[in-house]
Structures are given as structure tokens and as C-alpha cells.
Structure 1
Amino acid sequence: ETEWLQEAADRTGFPRGIVAYADLREPDVDDMLARHAEYPLLRGIRDFSYGDYLTVPEFHRGFALLEKYNLSANMSVQWQEMEKLRDLAGKFPNIKMLVDHTGLPAERNDEYFAKWKQGMVTAAKPDNTVCKISGLGMSDNDWTVDSIRPFVLHCIESFGVDRCIFGTNWPVDSLFSGYDDIVDAYTEIISDFSEDEQIAMFSRNSELLYNI
């Protein structure tokens, strides 16, 4: 897949960066990362592991290799695991960690929202974590600007403007809305921020993070 994306970029100029898959617990993960790194657009790794893996020694061994290859890590973690994510970020301060899909809020009720909020505050404590605000349609299929607004604004409040990036979760969220709907919603929600702050969250932070 990384080879295919690199070939597409060489041919069309798009994409400008690649976040590839790797199972960081595999014994041969160093070789796997080296093969990914042969392609110049590689910028990060997303490990789709689930369950209680953030404290597993095999995962830490593989995770440490991301610094060797100057790669970021996309982390699909819910609020229950945010303390472990915070500790992982503290152990590897030179590796940028993206909290994927807004911390994967799975429910829409006051009790869950309070727990999710605290989880995001915890995840934001290390300086090397970044919040990718995206994927809010996955658990709120009939979302509106007002229904996602509290999640977006809390992420920005917790991480700060310079550590938040917007994503569309395309094509998954195409099941629930149009591409323009998502971008327009983000734009409306952050309309009170300065133009420079909006540019940071929509593009500049990602450009700096991924060196593009």
C-alpha cells in the first residue's frame, strides 16, 4: 500500500505524505519499518491494535523504533486508556503521538461526555501529543454542527490551537455526510478564532507535523 501511494504521488503530486500501517508488536517490526521508510513520503505509522496493549513490552520495543525512522504515531485510543497513553508519551518524548478521531467518543450522553473530557485533558498533558479532530460521524451518524461543537471546542481547549489538526475521516464519514458538510461545520465552529489560528488548525499544524 505504501508503494502504491508513493507511485500515485510521483505521478499526480498527491498525497503529500503517507501514514502507513504496521503492527509494532511484531518481532520483525524493524525490518517492516525499514521497508516502509524506503518511500520518501512516509511520515507516520498507525497501529490498529486494540485492547490492553499500551503497556506491553513488545509494543514499547516497536514503538521506540519510530524515533529511529523519525515517524509519528497515530493512536486509536478511547478515554479509558488515556492515562496509559499519557505515560507512553512521557516515556517517548521525542515521538509525536496523534490522538486519533477526537479520542473516539462512542456515546452521546452527559455522563460519557464528562469522562471523555477528562480523558482528553489527560492525553493533552504531554507536549508531544496532538489531537486529530475527526471521525465524529462514526458514533453520531445524524450529527449536526451543534452536536459536534462541544467535542471540537474541548479538544482545542485541552490541547491548544497549535496541537490540534482537522481531518475528515474520508471516506468512512462519507456514509453520514458530504465532504463539504464536515469542512463547513469545522469552519463554523471555529469562526470566532483568529484567521491565523484557523489556518493553523486546518493546514499549518499538519504541514509542520508531517514536514510537507
Structure 2
Amino acid sequence: MKALYDGPVIDAHQHFWDLEANQYPWLTGDTLVAHRYGDYSAIKRTYLPADYLRDAAGHDVVGSVYVEAEWNPSDPLGETRYVSQLAASCGRPNAIAAQAWLDRDDANDVLAAQAGFDRVRSVRHKPGNPDGKGRTLMSDDRWLRGYAALARHGLHFELQAPWTQLHEAACVARDFPETLLIVNHAGVPGDRSPDTLRGWRKAMETLSVLPNVVVKVSGLCERGKPWSVEANQPIVDTLYALFGAERLMFGSNFPVDGMFLSLDGLLSGFAQLVRAWPHAQQRAFFHDTAERVYRPLGLGARSCTSGSLPTNERASR
């Protein structure tokens, strides 16, 4: 029996937040917005690099990519400044997917400013999900003008959208071949019913023929169900067949997926999911693809204490 992968890992999708110092509307007070995982009250707590490093103990997680966490939308650069300070203090994260609103009048200016931070590699703007089937911002001319500006600033795009919207994403990727489109959360397959899996696979097949598309295998939890290797094996097998390991990346989606299992359990579970792959392909999935896509800085930092956190931001709210 093959040994499970125990080599270096770059976590391509994770979050930090300090709820005492900064504003995240969806994490404030008693607020609960619609979320595909249901009630997320359990993650309404500060989660910083020291917490992440503690959770990752025992695994060779050499770096991570911070993905915007729906910080105050009126201040997208404030989030990037804060997370850059965390990186300077703690060595994590090693790359940043920043916030930008592509349909706003100031989109080009925000993109230029975000690209000026040394760890920013991409931006995310969720295109909306009015009914799961209708047109989204990916078909809006203003949004598309903002998307067109990404290439000028050397930025990738992070797409979080359910699989029912991926036909629009395929058009965007085809029309803007110079911009790398990074599909978050495996295209959000949702439930594991046969009809859903057939529809999701067809949508992912459409994207797989486009060379400027890569996929983060993250956020695979199901509302009201425990995370399991058995439930996720068909997802991972399909993605491997369509994209190959060189276009797939592991992402923990922590602390959000911590609602369902520990980071140790998640990393161990994914090692089981890819156990049949050649070792080089496993390393590509866990490390090499993310290293190529995000060009992370300062890999290997493993210690951070509360005293090393950016205290000026803690007092700024």
C-alpha cells in the first residue's frame, strides 16, 4: 500500500480575521447572511496566523494564500494593508487574493493599487447568484470592463460561483485568454446527487478545455453532513481526469471548513483522496501548482505569537 503524501503543502485558500480590530459585515454581532453551509456562528471568532499554525501542526504546510474575507466593501485596500502587516509580522500569508469590485467606477484605480502590494497576485469579486440559473455580473458590460483591466495590472481572477453559472465563466475565460481564471471551491458542486454531479461535471468539462483555467479543490463541505473521503472521492477523481494535477491546487478554506472538521483531518483526508496518484502529481496538487500560480514569498515561516501582531490595527476600528 502506498504511503500517504507527507511532503510540503501550500494552502491555496485560507482566511484570517481579527473581529476586535476590523470590520467584516457578515461576521458582525448577530448578523447571519445566507451561506451554503448554513449557520456559521461557530466561526465568528478571531482567527490569526498563530491559530492557523497551531491547527496545521504536524503537517509540512510551508505557505498559504489569503483570500479576501468580505471586509468592509468601502475599504478594499484596508484589508490588503492589514493582511500585509500580518505577513510582515508572522510570515503568513505568503500571497494574497485581494478584494476588488470590478463593476465600480474606481475599479481600475483599485486594481492598480492592489497590484502595488508585493504579495497580491489576484482579486476576487463574487459575481452574484440571484436564482442559481440567471445571468450574473459575468454578463454585465461594466463588470467585464473591470475584468479586462486585470491583465494590465498582472492580476489573476478568483471565481467563486456555483456550477450552474460556469457557462458564463467559460465565456469570460475564452474572451480574456491572457487572464488566469482560478476557480474557487472546485466549482461549488453542492450536493452529491447523481443529477447534480452530472451537471457539475459537464460545466467543469467546458472549463477544462481552456488553458487559462485552474481549479482550487477547496470548500467541499456539505450543509448538514460530515466531511468524508467517500463523499469527495468522485469530485477529486473527476477533477484529476479533466484538469490533471498541474492545474489543481489544495485549499483548506480555513477557518470556514473548520465548522466540519479539523485542519489535520482535512489534510489527512485529502492525502487519502489523492493516494492513487503518482507522487509527482500529488506534490503538484499540494504544492507545485500553487507555487507556480501564486509565486508565494517567504515560504517556511512556522512561528507567530500574539505579541508580534500589528497592534496599530487592533486599535483602529
After TM superposition, the score normalised by the length of structure 1 is 0.96
Residue of structure 2 equivalent to 1:135: 219
After superposition, residues 1-212 of structure 1 pair within 5 angstroms as 1-51=79-129, 52-139=136-223, 141-212=225-296
Whole-Å Cα distance in 1 between the matches of residues 99 and 222 of structure 2? 21
Whole-Å Cα distance in 1 between the matches of residues 94 and 200 of structure 2? 32
Whole-Å Cα distance in 2 between the matches of residues 133 and 141 of structure 1? 18
Larger Rg: 2
Whole-Å Cα distance in 2 between the matches of residues 63 and 85 of structure 1? 12
Deviation at 1:108, TM superposition (A): 2.1
The CA deviation string for residues 45-95 of structure 1, in whole angstroms up to 9 with x for no partner, is: 011230311111111100011111111111012222222111110111111
Whole-Å Cα distance in 2 between the matches of residues 50 and 133 of structure 1? 21
The percentage of counterpart residues that share the same residue type is 28
Whole-Å Cα distance in 1 between the matches of residues 194 and 165 of structure 2? 19
CA contact (8 A) 2:126 2:161 kept: no
Q: Name the SS of the counterpart of 1:54 in structure 2.
A: helix
Which stretches of structure 1, 4 residues or longer, exceed 2 Å deviation after superposition? 138-141
Q: Name the SS of the counterpart of 1:131 in structure 2.
A: strand
Structure 1 spans left out of the alignment, 5+ residues: none
Q: Name the SS of the counterpart of 1:44 in structure 2.
A: strand
Whole-Å Cα distance in 2 between the matches of residues 205 and 82 of structure 1? 22
Structure 2 spans left out of the alignment, 5+ residues: 1-78, 130-135, 297-317
Query: How many pairs are equivalent?
Result: 212
Change (3 A) 1:133 1:175: same
CA contact (8 A) 1:22 1:47 kept: yes
The CA deviation string for residues 176-202 of structure 1, in whole angstroms up to 9 with x for no partner, is: 001011111111111111111111010
Counterpart AA for 1:107: D
CA contact (8 A) 1:17 1:210 kept: yes
CA contact (8 A) 1:74 1:100 kept: yes
User: Which one has the bigger helix percentage?
Assistant: 1
CA contact (8 A) 1:132 1:164 kept: yes
Whole-Å Cα distance in 2 between the matches of residues 72 and 37 of structure 1? 10
Residue of structure 1 equivalent to 2:70: none
CA contact (8 A) 1:25 1:58 kept: yes
Deviation at 1:140, TM superposition (A): 6.2
CA contact (8 A) 2:148 2:176 kept: yes
CA contact (8 A) 2:115 2:155 kept: no
Counterpart AA for 2:88: D
Change (3 A) 1:162 1:72: same
TM-align CA RMSD: 1.2
